[in-house]
Structure 1
Amino acid sequence: MYIKKILWIIAIAGLLAGGFFAYMVYTAIFTPNTKFNNAEAFVYVASDASFSEVKTNLEPLLKDMESFEAVAKRKGYTSNIKAGKYRIGKGMNNNEIVNSLRSGNIPVKVSFNNQETLAMLAGRIAVQIEPDSISLLNAFNDTAFLHENNFSDATKLAMYIPNSYEFFWNTSPKQFRARMLKEYNRFWNRERLKKAEALNLKPAEVVTLASIVHKESAKVDERPRVAGVYLNRLRQGILLQADPTVIYALKLHSGDFDQVIKRVLYKDLELDSPYNTYKYAGLPPGPIAMPDISAIDAVLNPEKHEYLYFVANVERFGYHKFAKTLAQHNRNKVQYIRWINQQNINR
Structure 2
Amino acid sequence: MSPTDFAETTARIVAEVSRVIDGKPDAVRSALVTLLAEGHLLIEDVPGVGKTMLARALAATVDATVRRIQFTPDLLPSDVTGISVFNPGEREFEFKPGAVFANIVIADEINRSSPKTQSALLEAMEEGQVTVDGRTHPLPDPFLVVATQNPLEMEGTYALPEAQRDRFMMRISMGYPDAAAEAQMLRERDVANPLTAITPVTDAASVRALISWARRVHVSSPVEQYAVALAQATRVHPDLRLGASPRATLQLVRAAKVWAALDGRAFVIPDDITALLIPVFAHRLIPARATSVRGRSGPDAVTAILQRLISTVAVPLTPGA
Q: Output the TM-score relative to the length of structure 1.
A: 0.21
Q: Quick check: which one's strand share is greater?
A: 2
Say which one has the larger Rg.
Answer: 1
Q: Which has the higher contact order (CA 8 A, sep 6+)?
A: 2
Q: Output the TM-score relative to the length of structure 2.
A: 0.22
Q: Quick check: which one's helix share is greater?
A: 1
